[in-house]
Chain A
């Protein structure tokens, strides 16, 4: 497929969940593909330098020294996964900044593999309702696809990635191609029975997660092994037991012989060729030497993550597109969304003293959306799900009490009572006003304008948060939980780390950036397949859907190339 006038058949910007999939699909279809990664290389296995650090060799409770965290990672430290032995996978805020016109917690991992190293691996399909939502209630831009378009691609990516979960047959949470589910424990089974006996359309199931429980031949050939229940995934996993670019897609791409990776390479902009009306390549700045070069390709896949991709697109200015490549609609940057994760609830579960568990389970439970489905009607639109789990109080939960001496010591040795906790994830409506744009005055070390974020929740979200709190309290009582607490913590968009939107798909080139194949309406060889493409966000974790859209878009792009259309 290589033509003389292009250095590569395809360039993929970014190497996270989306970029890794683009690289795998493009190279497996025979395209000479360049992956451009702005951060450092990381070698699967050997660079997981803290993977096997024993607990007594960690800093205090594995926390980052406070002064150091405040200086270098004031925002990243808000992430639940930010610890002393994972901090090297989080981008330093002190070295990379953006402007929060309204507060936005942007969690960043600029390195080979990106956030696919750090994600929580929760994997759920969007449902039919999710794709119809914008059309039905008029918020945002109608998705140019429906669930039936994505379903075969969910199948496809799930078989490769490896998703563990239980078949439930729920329309609100379509089943994936599953490897066997991970166990619920006794307290969770108790809650499940109580909830499912009482309510018509509520379920408590094991969380669906990108962990191997029954690796396929293909997965084992890539060197991947079953999950060992260490629940320390963010340190990196030499077993390759959870899906990441480093454990799965990049090794698959490497094996084709068609893959080239450039790291420490910051994409400044995509080059637009006025004559052909196509993107001709990317301008790259070497992160160390600051030298620039342009590399050409027949097709460009932008997979740098939601905010980073749109930053590049906005910065790709030309006479034809003074506000960013392909931005004839003016909609680039708009409809920024994140899940609302402000409601936490939980309490105590009595009994089950004779039951314990073995291993540190890498997934929790999931309560799928029950609001505004199956005839339920609320005073707000869309809905939410809950993620959580039950555990017995371990040593940490039993030390802050009266007592010194042998009896005190002995009491800490035994598992304590059961506790349950959960967090809600709610869908934010696509609001045009929620956006990102480029600063007109501030640039980074590479001369690239800083991102300005401007995102806040609206009335619909406020009503939903209220209902989440009331509903959680009622449901936990039904579930058999005692001493129930419900707390609403301060929420800043971005902290759910499910940010999507800003380069939305839609039918109409006047009101959307991409068509139904993640292809720019204006620039036919430009594809954007990460979260920036989403027209709405559902209430489920988005990464599985990044995978499905990416694989589907590559399939389309390559067919177009084979037909001579690109």
Chain B
């Protein structure tokens, strides 16, 4: 039996707590589960305020990443990369996850990208208009997947981390994508409609 994404989306209105309660009643006893996982709540910190450095990113790098994150994933009906916290994600990725050597290289690559941007835009990248910045990045990005494939692996890595950061964020996962923490019985075939979106997880 095919259910549409809309019908399934109604399922998401059931909070995790309600699903647990329903199931607990069915099995005749409480299901013990740590609904609020405090284990990792300290692991993910707040985003980096504008003009400040992170643990790995300098203030200038952080501001640059925020700006290009908002061009790559702009605010549409849902928030863009900056508000979603991509900069904090990138900073944690570099300081907490990556090996020291790789993180150092990526930070150098970010600086190189900033230099390329500053060279291309009169007065520097951060001073240019959003239109000019967007035009530059669009062309740079196009070449990175085309004629300059070999020389722009660094850029593709930076973009990858930015975009992963967006879709891993609460905004990206719950507003832009379809977030289903407790789906229920698996349905192998449902209809695709206009409202169908990729799942966050």
**Measuring CB to CB, which residues of chain A are less than 8 angstroms from any residue of chain B?**
43-46, 48-61, 63, 65-67, 85, 182-186, 188, 213, 215, 220-221, 223-230, 238-240, 353-362, 394-396, 398-406, 408-410, 412-415
Is the CB of B99 closer than 8 A to any CB of chain A?
yes
Binding site for A on B (CB under 8 A): 3, 5, 8, 16, 19-20, 23, 26-29, 31-37, 39-41, 43-44, 71-74, 76, 89, 92-93, 96-100, 102, 134, 137-138, 141-142, 144-146, 156, 160, 163-164, 167-170, 173, 176-177, 180-192, 196-201
Contact A46 B32 (CB under 8 A): yes
A188–B186 CA distance with the chains assembled, in angstroms? 15
B168 close to A58 (CB less than 8 A): yes
Max chain B C-beta neighbours (<10 A), residue from A43, A56, A223, A398: A56
Q: Please give me the residue from chain B that is nearest to A62 by CB atom.
A: B168
Is A239 a contact of B160 with CB atoms below 8 Å? no
Residue pairs across A and B with Cβ atoms less than 8 A apart, 17 shown, are: A44-B32, A53-B39, A57-B43, A60-B96, A67-B99, A183-B186, A183-B189, A220-B28, A225-B23, A356-B196, A358-B183, A359-B187, A360-B183, A394-B198, A402-B145, A408-B73, A415-B196
- Asked if B200 and A401 sit within 8 Å, CB to CB, the answer is no
* Beta-carbon nearest neighbor of B165 in chain A: A60
Q: Are A358 and B160 in contact (CB under 8 A)?
A: no
A399 to B159, CA, bound (A): 9
Q: Is the CB of A59 within 8 A of B97?
A: yes
Q: With A59-B97, A355-B189, A359-B187 as known contacts, state yes or no: A406 contacts B74, CB within 8 Å.
A: yes
Q: Report the bound CA distance from A67 to B98 in whole Å.
A: 8
Contacts A52-B34, A394-B198 known; list 4 others, CB within 8 Å. A59-B97, A227-B185, A394-B199, A395-B177
Task: Please give me the residue from chain A that is nearest to B37 by CB atom.
Answer: A53
B37 contacts A359, CB within 8 Å?
no
Residue with the highest number of chain A CB atoms closer than 10 Å, among B26, B32, B43: B32
B31 x A357 contact (CB < 8 A): no
Instruction: Name the A residues within 8 Å of B146 (CB-CB).
Output: 402
Given known pairs A53-B39, A405-B72, the reply for A223 and B31 (CB within 8 Å) is: yes
Q: Identify whether the interface residues of A are mostly helix, strand, loop, or mixed.
A: loop
| B36: chain A residues within 8 A (beta carbon) | 52
Q: Which residues of B contact A408 (CB under 8 A)?
A: 72-73
Residues from chain A with Cβ under 8 Å of B167 in the complex? 395-396, 399, 412
Task: Knowing A45-B31, A45-B32, A230-B181 are in contact, say whether A61-B186 is a contact too (CB < 8 A).
Answer: no
Q: Which of B8, B31, B71 contacts A225 (CB 8 A)?
A: B31
Q: Inside 8 A of B188's CB, which chain A residues have their CB?
A: 182-186, 188, 357, 361
Contact partners of A223 in chain B: CB under 8 A: 27, 29, 31
Distance from A94 Cβ to chain B, minimum over Cβ atoms (Å) = 17
Q: Which residues from A are CB-within-8-Å of B177?
A: 395, 413
Give every chain A residue within 8 A of B102 (Cβ-Cβ).
66
Separation in Å of the B9 CB from the closest CB of chain A?
A: 10
Selected contact of A221 from candidates B28, B34, B74, B173, CB within 8 Å: B28
Residues of B near A360 (CB, < 8 A) are 183, 186, 199, 201
Residues of B within 8 A of A43 (CB): 32
Complexed CA–CA distance, A65 and B198 (Å) = 27
**B residues within 8 A CB of A357?**
186-190
User: How long is the Cα–Cα vector from A405 to B200 in the complex, in angstroms?
Assistant: 20
Whole-angstrom CA separation of A448 from B169 in the bound complex: 47
* Bound form: Cα–Cα A183–B2 in Å: 12
Given A223-B31, A414-B197, does the pair A399, B8 have CB atoms closer than 8 Å?
A: no
Q: Which residue of A lies closest to B171 (CB)?
A: A56
Nearest 4 A/B pairs, CB to CB: A183-B188, A45-B32, A238-B33, A359-B183
Knowing A44-B32, A229-B185 are in contact, say whether A52-B37 is a contact too (CB < 8 A).
Answer: yes
Quick one: given A85-B40, A404-B72, A414-B197, are A56 and B173 in contact (CB under 8 Å)? yes
Cβ–Cβ contact A46 & B34, under 8 A: yes
Q: How far is the CB of B182 from chain A (nearest CB, A)?
A: 5
Q: In the complex, what's the smallest C-beta–C-beta distance from A396 to chain B, in angstroms?
A: 8
A185 to B141, CA, bound (A): 36
A228 touches B183 (CB 8 A): yes
Known interface pairs A48-B34, A52-B16; A400-B97 also in contact (CB < 8 Å): no
Chain B residues with CB below 8 A from A55, complex form: 168, 173, 200-201
Determine whether the beta carbon of A358 is less than 8 Å from that of B3. Answer: yes
Residue of B nearest to A65 (CB): B97
Nearest to B162 among chain A residues (CB) is A399
Contact at A225–B187, with CB atoms within 8 Å? no
A420–B166 Cα distance when bound, in Å, is 27
CB-based contact A358/B190 at 8 Å: yes
Q: Name B100's closest neighbour in chain A (CB-CB).
A: A67
- Are B97 and A238 in contact, with the CB atoms below 8 A? no
Complex: A76 Cα to B191 Cα, angstroms = 40
Q: Establish whether residues A213 and B156, one from each chain, have CB atoms under 8 Å apart when the complex forms.
A: no
Residue from A66, A224, A401 within 8 A of B97 (CB atoms): A66
Q: Which residues of A contact B200 (CB under 8 A)?
A: 55, 395
